[in-house]
């Protein structure tokens, strides 16, 4: 785990939420210069740190709302640190906990060089990575429907397995193999949803492949030369790793 230990005149810790954020700014001696709750807003944050812009670093904990703060700091030329949520909890977790206390703890950890750092995924590929993750989520949901159909086959001890249901021709005649109308209706619902997933997933994969060719065509092509790595696995590796040089050692890759 890497820690942020660069020295600055001012350190800003933000306890970030969807609608509100508690901002704490301390100086190099640890004295509080600004400590207040405010609306989660770009302009409000810029106004709060404006008097300290000469040399300030901003840190937030890695939760789902961090994107806009990272992008704002990048565009404004302000150093930004994303704290690793799990390791930060181990460091500053305690009974005395609220937004005000947490924002001050983040600022204090930042000043003391004790912020465990998460990787700030670049804005350029971040949205496509999230789309890839959404595609994987929908794929798992479709697999659950496959499993339900196969499990129903086993419940009624049908003579033959349906085979791989990802192959569309293996889905023919499945509904008619069940005698009870309610079971047929259940399998019909599964099949209709699977058809919808097929269309959605096909379109998502085409879009993501087009983006991969735009983002990093060389890496995407090279990944597919690895035995066993096809177009989808290559996409997952490409967008989850993003830049292999961010892993300085085997230990940091784990």
- Domain boundary, last residue among 97, 116, 135: 116
Q: Which domain holds residue 175?
A: 123-244
- Domain boundary, last residue among 101, 116, 131: 116
pLDDT value of residue 162: 83
Does 101 reside within a domain?
A: yes
Let me know whether 130 and 240 are in one domain: yes
Would the CA dihedral through 102, 107, 112, 115 be positive or negative?
A: positive
Let me know whether 226 and 143 are in one domain: yes
pLDDT value of residue 89: 76
Residue 138 confidence (pLDDT) above 60 = yes
Let me know whether 46 and 90 are in one domain: yes
The contacts found for 213-216 with CB under 8 angstroms, 24 or more apart, are 215/124, 215/125, 215/128
- Domain boundary, last residue among 73, 95, 116: 116
- Among residues 27, 47, 29, 51, the alpha carbon closest in space to that of 39 is found at 47
Q: For residues 117 and 246, what is the distance between their CA atoms, to the nearest angstrom? A: 12
pLDDT value of residue 92: 62
pLDDT value of residue 106: 93
pLDDT value of residue 250: 65
pLDDT value of residue 217: 95
- 12 neighbors 24 (Cβ within 8 angstroms): yes
Determine the average pLDDT of the residues in 21-36. Answer: 96
Does 250 reside within a domain?
A: no
Residues 160-187 have pLDDT tens digits of 778 888 888 888 889 998 999 999 999 9
pLDDT value of residue 70: 96
SS3 98: coil
Does 103 reside within a domain?
A: yes
Residue 90 confidence (pLDDT) above 80 = no
Let me know whether 108 and 145 are in one domain: no
**pLDDT classification of 91: cutoffs 50, 70, 90:** low
Let me know whether 221 and 191 are in one domain: yes
Let me know whether 129 and 39 are in one domain: no
pLDDT value of residue 251: 62
**pLDDT classification of 239: cutoffs 50, 70, 90:** very high
Helices (H), the chain: 42-49, 67-76, 85-92, 99-111, 123-155, 181-215, 217-223, 231-241, 250-253
Determine the average pLDDT of the residues in 223-233. Answer: 96
- 58 neighbors 70 (Cβ within 8 angstroms): no
Tokens of 201: 């997933």
Query: Total structural domains in the chain?
Result: 2
Residue 124 confidence (pLDDT) above 90 = yes
Does 225 reside within a domain?
A: yes
Percent of the chain with pLDDT over 70: 95
Does 254 reside within a domain?
A: no
């Amino acid at each position: 785990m890497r820690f942020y230990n660069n020295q600055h005149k001012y350190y800003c810790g933000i306890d970030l939420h969807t609608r509100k954020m508690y901002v704490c700014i301390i100086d190099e001696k640890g004295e509080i210069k600004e400590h207040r709750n405010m609306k989660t807003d770009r302009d409000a944050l810029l106004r709060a740190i404006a008097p300290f812009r000469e040399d300030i670093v901003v840190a937030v904990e890695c939760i789902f709302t961090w994107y806009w703060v990272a992008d704002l700091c990048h565009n404004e030329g302000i150093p930004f640190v994303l704290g690793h949520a799990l390791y930060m909890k181990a460091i500053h977790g305690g009974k005395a906990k609220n937004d005000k206390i947490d924002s001050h703890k983040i600022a204090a950890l930042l000043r003391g060089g004790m912020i465990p750092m998460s990787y700030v995924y670049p804005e350029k590929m971040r949205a496509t990575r999230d789309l890839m993750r959404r595609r994987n989520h929908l794929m798992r949901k479709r697999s659950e429907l496959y499993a339900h159909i196969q499990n129903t086959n086993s419940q009624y001890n049908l003579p033959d397995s349906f085979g791989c249901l990802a192959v569309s021709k293996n889905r023919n005649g499945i509904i008619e193999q069940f005698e009870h109308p309610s079971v047929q209706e259940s399998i019909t619902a599964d099949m209709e949803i699977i058809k919808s997933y097929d269309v959605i997933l096909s379109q998502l994969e085409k879009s993501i492949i087009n983006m991969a060719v735009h983002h990093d065509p060389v890496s995407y092509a090279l990944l597919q030369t690895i035995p066993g790595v096809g177009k989808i696995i290559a996409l997952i590796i490409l967008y989850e790793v993003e830049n292999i040089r961010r892993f300085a050692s085997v230990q940091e890759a784990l």
